[in-house]
Chain A
Amino acid sequence: MNVSLLAASTSPAERWVYAGMLAANLVLVSVLVGRLGSSLAKKYVMSLTGLALCGFLVIHLIGNAMMLFGAETYNAYADSLHKDEAALKVGEFALLFLFVAHIWLGLVTAGNNRAARGRRYDEEHVKRQDRTAGEFLAPDYWMLVSGLVIGAFLILHLWDFTIEGRPDIGYSDKTPFEKAKAILAVPWTKIAYVVGSVFLGWHLGHGVASSFQSLGIGNARRNRAIRWGGVAFAWLVALGFGIFPLISAYL
């Protein structure tokens, strides 16, 4: 066996570009967060980046759906994304910015929130009467946890598809369609992708509706629709993305 961990088709130069993008975004976001004066400003950015990422998810899901129409359609779609490499890199930079800002603020606010309580309660129970299962599975109590799981999944996902760093996948001789099928054929990867999709849906089960509240768009009349719309979107994302690892062998 003569495969190094980094032996793949994405060139080393391109990897340096991605490393540079990440570094630049970390600097950019640290400056931005430093300039956000208030807790509300942080929540606005949290909401806007979250909603923008939801928009990206929709586009991503439409891209996935191309797989249903066969290898040719999917490959043509993948090629069309790479038609203008410079524009793609700009898009990727913007996307990375959304992720870095969202995750950074998530960590910062989680730290603030923990500190704000001080000593923990000895006993703590919810008072909302519509919480039938208590807080056990309510997504709003687990946003940091679900977010971290999604973050870990994102690293795996980018490593698999963008960095193309998996030693067990021979990238160089595969079309995009074959690449996706080969990655999703690995049993543990299949499970990881389903788990990632489920956590993403769980995260959005609170995140979408919460964004509208943080941006001040909600009111008594609209809140019901916003809440159910958010939950419906979360299910769409969880099922939509979660189905591909399960059916990839039959495509």
Chain B
Amino acid sequence: MAHTLNLTLRIWRQSDRDARGEFRTYDVRGISTHMSFLEMLDVLNEQLIQQGEEPVAFDHDCREGICGQCGMMINGQAHGPDRETTTCQLHMRRFENGQTITIEPWRARAFPVIRDLVVDRSAFDRIIQAGGYISVRTGQAPEANTLPVPYEDAEKALDAAACIGCGACVAQCKNASAMLFTAAKVSHLALLPQGQPERRRRVVNMVARMDSEQFGNCTNTYECEAACPAGISVGTISRMNREYLKARLAGVEPNL
């Protein structure tokens, strides 16, 4: 196996939200197989800057798979070919010498492209604002054992809380649906005692916000689960479907 790669990159370039955008092709040489995908893009950008061209804009922050900032379609797959992996954790050893790699931003009407590979994911923030919070009494920190949480529930809640909000579920979904993201947030809080006061209002408002942001419907194709770097299960979607049905049957109306 070669330790360096020469690659052809087909990258979506778009100067701003309203620009038309197009694919442009770049060659990079001598990419170490130990590099991450983002480091490979750093090499490309160094090269572009030296040539006096605009570097490719992409979101990134922690580069260790927990911030949820990075994310792009790599050869038609959200975060590339690996399971439970963000783009920053994807290694160049997964690619072959001489390969052409197509890199696109997330595509969803709710995630407009701002520039190149950067999309506006504030729709997710607005879904969180609609109900992803709990009410707590202020004052001293409560005694740790006042709210016992069964082990099973704590595990399930934390599995859902692992969502990093990267948007891969929306990007990979054939309908650009945000069900997995919203369901992860709803599940996380519905499973914990702290989340009970707003439990019904939360699911109704978050779903209403999700719909108004014009994400697609869920077809239960489960590509979201396969693309999720945090391993969120589609069982959360089933739970949200249940929670929403119960809340609406109890007469709870959305109130955004």
B180 to chain A, nearest CB (A): 12
Cross-chain contact A116 with B241 (CB below 8 angstroms): no
Interface flags, B188-226, vs A, CB<8A=1, else 0? 000000000000000000011011001111111111011
Residues in B neighbouring A118, C-beta threshold 8 A: 107-109, 176
B69 at the interface (CB under 8 A from A): no
A112 at the interface (CB under 8 A from B): yes
B94 at the interface (CB under 8 A from A): no
Residues in B neighbouring A40, C-beta threshold 8 A: 207, 240-241, 244-245
* Residues A119-158 near B (CB distance < 8 A): 119-129, 138, 140-141, 143
| Interface residue from B76, B238, B240 paired with A219 (Cβ < 8 Å) | B238
Question: How distant is the Cα of A88 from the Cα of B77 in the complex, in angstroms?
Answer: 52
B30 at the interface (CB under 8 A from A): no
Cross-chain contact B220 with A109 (CB below 8 angstroms): no
A181 at the interface (CB under 8 A from B): no
Q: Which of A121, A129, A217, A219 is packed against the most chain B CB atoms within 10 Å? A: A121
A37 at the interface (CB under 8 A from B): yes
Known pairs A115-B109, A117-B109, A118-B107; A43 contacts B214 (CB<8 A): no
- A contacts with B, residue count (CB < 8 A): 42
Residues in A neighbouring B215, C-beta threshold 8 A: 116
Instruction: For chain B, give the interface size range.
Output: 35 or more
Cross-chain contact B219 with A219 (CB below 8 angstroms): no
Interface flags, B105-120, vs A, CB<8A=1, else 0? 0011110000000000
A251 at the interface (CB under 8 A from B): no
B83 at the interface (CB under 8 A from A): yes
B122 at the interface (CB under 8 A from A): no
Dominant secondary structure of chain B at its interface with chain A: mixed
B235 at the interface (CB under 8 A from A): yes
Cross-chain contact A214 with B241 (CB below 8 angstroms): yes
Question: How distant is the Cα of A143 from the Cα of B240 in the complex, in angstroms?
Answer: 23
Residues in B neighbouring A27, C-beta threshold 8 A: none
A226 nearest CB neighbor, chain B only:
B238
Residues in A neighbouring B225, C-beta threshold 8 A: 128
Cross-chain contact B238 with A216 (CB below 8 angstroms): yes
Question: How distant is the Cα of A64 from the Cα of B176 in the complex, in angstroms?
Answer: 41
Question: How distant is the Cα of A43 from the Cα of B108 in the complex, in angstroms?
Answer: 21
Cross-chain contact B174 with A223 (CB below 8 angstroms): no
Residues in B neighbouring A216, C-beta threshold 8 A: 238-245
Question: How distant is the Cα of A118 from the Cα of B242 in the complex, in angstroms?
Answer: 29
Residues in B neighbouring A117, C-beta threshold 8 A: 107-109, 174-176, 216
| Interface residue from B73, B108, B221, B240 paired with A140 (Cβ < 8 Å) | B221
Known pairs A113-B174, A113-B176; A122 contacts B104 (CB<8 A): yes
Cross-chain contact B207 with A39 (CB below 8 angstroms): yes
B136 to chain A, nearest CB (A): 28
Cross-chain contact A220 with B235 (CB below 8 angstroms): yes
| Interface residue from B208, B216, B235 paired with A38 (Cβ < 8 Å) | B208
Cross-chain contact A206 with B220 (CB below 8 angstroms): yes
Residues in A neighbouring B177, C-beta threshold 8 A: 113, 116
Cross-chain contact B241 with A123 (CB below 8 angstroms): no
Interface flags, A201-220, vs B, CB<8A=1, else 0? 00000100110011111111
Cross-chain contact B172 with A140 (CB below 8 angstroms): no
Chain B residues in the interface with A (C-beta under 8 A) = 10, 12, 23, 73, 75-78, 81, 83, 102, 104, 107-110, 172, 174-177, 207-208, 210-211, 214-223, 225-227, 233-235, 237-245, 248, 254
Can you name 18 A-B pairs with beta carbons within 8 Å?
Answer: A39-B207, A41-B248, A43-B218, A113-B174, A113-B177, A113-B219, A116-B108, A116-B110, A118-B176, A121-B73, A122-B12, A123-B104, A127-B77, A138-B221, A213-B238, A215-B241, A216-B244, A219-B235
Chain A residues in the interface with B (C-beta under 8 A) = 37-44, 109, 112-113, 115-129, 138, 140-141, 143, 206, 209-210, 213-220, 223
A-B contacts besides A117-B176, A216-B241, 5 pairs, CB < 8 Å: A43-B218, A118-B176, A122-B23, A138-B221, A213-B237
